[in-house]
Structures are given as structure tokens and as C-alpha cells.
Amino acid sequence: MAEYSSRLPRDLYQAAAVQQLDRLAIDTFGIEGFSLMQRAGRACFAALLEHWPETRRLRVFAGAGNNAGDGYVIAALAAEQGLQSEIVYLSSPDRLRGDAAKACAMARKEDVQLVAFNDYYQQPEGDSPTVLVDALLGTGLDREVTGDYAAAISLINASHKPVLAVDIPSGLHANTGEPLGCAVDAGITVTFIGMKQGLLTGSAPDYIGKLFFSDLGVPSEVYLHADAAKPGVKRIDINSVRDSIKPRAPASHKGTFGHVVVVGGDRGYGGAVLMAAEAAQRSGAGLVSVITRSEHRAGMLARRPELMVAGTEDEGFDAAELLAKATVIVVGPGLGRGRWGEDLLARSLATQMAQQTPLVIDADGLNLLADRDNGQTGLKRETWILTPHPGEAARLIDTSLDMVKADRFAAIAAMQQKWGGTCLLKGSGSLIRSSFATDTTFLCDEGNAGMASGGMGDVLAGVTAALVAQGLPNDQALQCAVCVHGEAADLAAAESGQRGMLATDLLPLIRQLLNPDL
């Protein structure tokens, strides 16, 4: 059986680039196309048997082209192993060409039953445990799924049977991770040669199930070849940022690890700024101060007496004096969009401009920033970190939420180009882009749906600021923070489940992950 692995590559590609890699393997390195197709079929069949060993019947839904050819190979292998095997085809087998035609001949040789999709509804179901294989549409899909293909996808999803998707769930856009009208809901996806960037972000996790990868034995030289398409996206996780977390020098003192000043917490929103400040403390900042409404001081100090809290209504309060002492400023958690928040954002921006202080802007700080005319006021800056969710990102680049969701990669590129610095687009498969590497997007595949609760972004802002305060460059600090934050959520989910996860549940785990020497 061909090998496949749950260990995913770091390099992520657009669909066209993977097609170039495939062509390079065939034309330059002499690997026969049908051999690659057979390897793909074997990798899928091996995954299928491992995950559903009780399978007695295989039903392959096949379209046209090489994705269908992979499906025909899988059906032939199943028949060879004594399983009931049938192909429901949407494109006549007689119209297949090249390697796909060879795969069809292989299936016919094994007496695989071939059934036209329009005749499929009349077939008896039987009682044998059945696995469905989606080999309808490949990675080249770039338009909405309609007609028989949409009907087949609907039928697959309504079957409530285990589904293996070949290379990509049919209907899913390989570059964006968004369904084109509809998409197959797979239990397992086995993808080949190059990891498609869309499989790890956006809506893709709702469709791919467990994701596996096989390079089909393509030699490493293919990926290094000068004419090969280069990956534009790098996958990051907790393992890729561990080197950023260094042990502390024995003679360190609190001044060694910086002073984070967190600005926010308008009336009714004191919890947001408190979570960001406590996250900065738990992530190793030497000193943490808070600028907030005076009414929040008692509650904050009751929970976390190590904080220094400055109230904006205090006699003699001077925001500029405290901001000038900051190693890094966080502005936005609970800030609100009123005059109070506008004033504090303006003061934070002025300090950054005067002293080049790193500035993490989150939540309403981003909404207030979007309200400013950056073309007139010159707000594009290299020393800030912007951390929006999709709605905030839409406001920052003056587009709709639907447009951001439709292509997250385009959205993060547009945001970084417009605003400069280091930018994050939160969500499933968070994306990072920075002026330090403008040709590369970093994708973090840590985290889970338990993070869909209030305060998670506030905690992330605090972690990010603390890592900057301790000396990490902005881009490295954000990558590390996003991965640690997501991994902490994964550990929390493994311990107690996703539902009911709170942002503050992550703090002990974040501290643990930032002390890997323990």
C-alpha cells in the first residue's frame, strides 16, 4: 500500500502550483502519470481500510479527468481485495482519456460494477457496511457546482455514510477553502503531491474531516527544481515556534522582560482589558500596567494585585507619561468606539510615532483605526501589530465580510499592504503576513471551535505583547503567540471538551507552553 501520513507538510501551494509540480514529476523526472494515479489510489485505499476496517462495500462517485481516474483505481483495488465495488459515474467511461482511461480499464478488469448516476437511484442499498468515495471534482474547480454534480454531492451528504474524499472534497475551492455552492462533507481527505493552502483555513475544516497527505513518492528534487512553482504559504504550529522560547538568564530582573501597558476597558468592558493584562503577565512580561476607567481599579486589583492600574478619572492622570514608559502598548480590548476610546487610541498612536514603541491594536482599537482616513494621516506603520477577526478586517480594507470570507489569503495580503506592519486574520486557520516577509503568508493550524467564546482575542493580544516586550521581533512574537494560544486551546479541549471553554482557562496552559524546559 502507498504511504500516507497525518504529519502535514510546512509548504502550502495553490492548486495551479501543485499541477505544475505534478507535470514536473512526469515530464522532467520521468515518473509515469498512470503510476502516480495508482499510487494515489493505493494511498486512499490504505487510509480507507485503516479507518473503516469493517468496510465490505465501496461505492465510488466518479466524474471526469484524473480525479475520477483515482476513483477508478480505488474501486479496482477494493474489488481485488474481495470487497463489493461499484462506480457511479457522472461522465461516461467511454469519454475518459489518457491515464483516467487506463484506470477505467483496470476497474473493468476487476469486474467493478459501473452504474450511470441517472440510474443509480434505482439500485438496492443492501446491508453491507458501505464507504463512499468522492472522486467527482478535483482541485481545478473554479466555478459554482451545478446540475448532476450538485445533485451527487447532495446525495452523498444525505447518505450518512462514511466518505473518503480524493485529494479534496468536491466543491471546495483548493485555494480559498470555501465551498463553491456546495461541497462534500468528508470523514477523511487524502491529498497528494503538494498540500493545498485552502484545505487548512476558512470553511475547509467543516468539510475535510481528518486530513492526510501523501507525496506519492515524488522525489524531493521536484520541490526544489528551479522551474517548479514555489509555495506562497507556510504552515506553522507549536513545533515550529519552540525555538523562539528561550530559557531565562539566571541574573534576569523584571526590567529585563519589558513593560506592557494595556489600554482599554470602557464602562462595562473592564473584563476585556483585565484578560489582556493578565495574559501578558502569565506570558512573562516583567511589568504590566493598565490604563482604564477608574471604576475598574478595585475589581482588577482584587483579582490580580500584581497589576498597576491607572484610572483615567484620577486626579492628575497623565496617559502620555505612562505610555512613554511602555516597552510595548496594547490598545483596544474593551476600548469602545466613543470619545473616550478615540482619545486613548490617539494618545497611543502619538506615543508610537514619537518613540517607535511597538503597538498591538485589537478589538475596538481596530474599528476606530478603520474610521480614520489613513491616506490623509499617514497611518501605515511598520512597528504595529494588527489582530482583527474577519469583521474588523473587512472594515480595515473597506470591503464586506463576505468578501473577506471568500478569500482570506487575498484579505490578509490587502490588509498588510494597506496598513503595513505585522497583520493577523483570526479564524479557523489564522493567517499572518508581515512587512518582514511580504511574499509569504503564515498559516497556523492550531486551535479548535472551543475558542468561539468572548475574550479569546483579548488573551491573544496580551500574549503577543508580552513576547514583544521580552525581545522577540513583532512578526516572530505574533507567530509564536498565535501558535501557543491555539495549542493551549487544543490542550484544554482534550482535557475538558470544546463546549464551555473560557478564555481564562487557557492562561495556565499558555504559561506551561512558554516554559518548555519544565
pLDDT value of position 1: 42
pLDDT value of position 227: 65
Tell me how far apart the terminal alpha carbons of the chain are, to the nearest angstrom: 41
Q: For the sheet containing 259-263, what is the strand order?
A: 195-196, 11-13, 233-236, 437-444, 430-434, 422-425, 384-386, 359-361, 328-331, 259-263, 287-292, 308-311
Q: Tens digits of per-residue pLDDT, 501-511?
A: 999 999 999 99
The residues facing 351 across adjacent strands are: none
Q: 189 and 168 in contact (C-beta within 8 Å)?
A: yes
Q: Tens digits of per-residue pLDDT, 401-424?
A: 999 999 999 999 999 999 999 999
Average model confidence (pLDDT) for the chain? 93
Helices (H), 238-296: 238-241, 270-282
Please indicate if the annotation marks 138 as binding a ligand: yes
Please indicate if the annotation marks 471 as binding a ligand: no
Please indicate if the annotation marks 143 as binding a ligand: yes
Same fold: 11-234 with 256-513:
no
Please indicate if the annotation marks 28 as binding a ligand: no
Full DSSP string of 105-158: HHHHHTT-EEEEHHHHTTS---SS-EEEEEES--TT--S---HHHHHHHHHHHH
Find the mean pLDDT for residues 132-143.
94
Please indicate if the annotation marks 428 as binding a ligand: yes
Find the mean pLDDT for residues 99-111.
95
Q: Which amino acid is at 491?
A: L
Q: 216 and 9 in contact (C-beta within 8 Å)?
A: no
Confidence category of residue 298, pLDDT binned at 50, 70, 90? very high
- The Cβ of residue 192 has, within 10 Å, a number of other Cβ atoms equal to 28
Grid cell, residue 351, equals 506615543
Please indicate if the annotation marks 286 as binding a ligand: no
What does the alpha-carbon distance between residue 291 and residue 297 come to, in Å, rounded to a whole number?
A: 10
What does the alpha-carbon distance between residue 291 and residue 329 come to, in Å, rounded to a whole number?
A: 10
Q: 65 and 138 in contact (C-beta within 8 Å)?
A: yes
What does the alpha-carbon distance between residue 407 and residue 418 come to, in Å, rounded to a whole number?
A: 17
What does the alpha-carbon distance between residue 443 and residue 252 come to, in Å, rounded to a whole number?
A: 33
Please indicate if the annotation marks 445 as binding a ligand: no
pLDDT value of position 6: 72
What does the alpha-carbon distance between residue 198 and residue 173 come to, in Å, rounded to a whole number?
A: 7
What does the alpha-carbon distance between residue 478 and residue 430 come to, in Å, rounded to a whole number?
A: 11
Q: Tens digits of per-residue pLDDT, 315-331?
A: 999 999 999 999 999 99
Q: Which CA distances in Å does 25 have to 187, 276, 455?
A: 29, 49, 48
Task: Return all residues near 437 (Cβ < 8 A) that are at least 6 apart.
Answer: 475
Task: Return all residues near 321 (Cβ < 8 A) that are at least 6 apart.
Answer: none
Is the domain spanning 256-513 CATH 3.40.1190.20? The answer is: yes
Please indicate if the annotation marks 457 as binding a ligand: yes
Of 245, 224, 276, 187, nearest in space to 507 by CA: 276
Percent of the chain with pLDDT over 90: 87
Please indicate if the annotation marks 430 as binding a ligand: yes
Please indicate if the annotation marks 198 as binding a ligand: no
Full DSSP string of 478-494: HHHHHHHHHHHHHHHHH
Please indicate if the annotation marks 140 as binding a ligand: yes
What does the alpha-carbon distance between residue 330 and residue 290 come to, in Å, rounded to a whole number?
A: 9
Please indicate if the annotation marks 389 as binding a ligand: yes
CATH code of the region 11-234: 3.40.50.10260
Please indicate if the annotation marks 373 as binding a ligand: no
Phi and psi based region of residue 315 (left: phi greater than 0; alpha: psi -120 to 50; beta: remaining): beta
- Lookup result for grid cell 452523498: 156
Please indicate if the annotation marks 272 as binding a ligand: yes
Give Cα 35 distance to the centre of its chain: 32
333-360: buried (b, 16+ CB within 10 Å) or exposed (e) per residue?
Answer: bbbbeeeebbebbebbbebbeeeebbbb
Of 144, 141, 147, nearest in space to 165 by CA: 141
Tell me the domain boundaries of the chain.
11-234, 256-513
Please indicate if the annotation marks 147 as binding a ligand: no
Please indicate if the annotation marks 269 as binding a ligand: no
Q: Tens digits of per-residue pLDDT, 300-311?
A: 999 999 999 999
Is the per-residue pLDDT at 179 higher than 80? Answer: yes
Q: Tens digits of per-residue pLDDT, 352-376?
A: 999 999 999 999 999 999 988 654 5
Please indicate if the annotation marks 187 as binding a ligand: no
What does the alpha-carbon distance between residue 339 and residue 282 come to, in Å, rounded to a whole number?
A: 31
Is the per-residue pLDDT at 436 higher than 90? Answer: no
Task: Return all residues near 492 (Cβ < 8 A) that are at least 6 apart.
Answer: 450, 501, 505, 506, 509
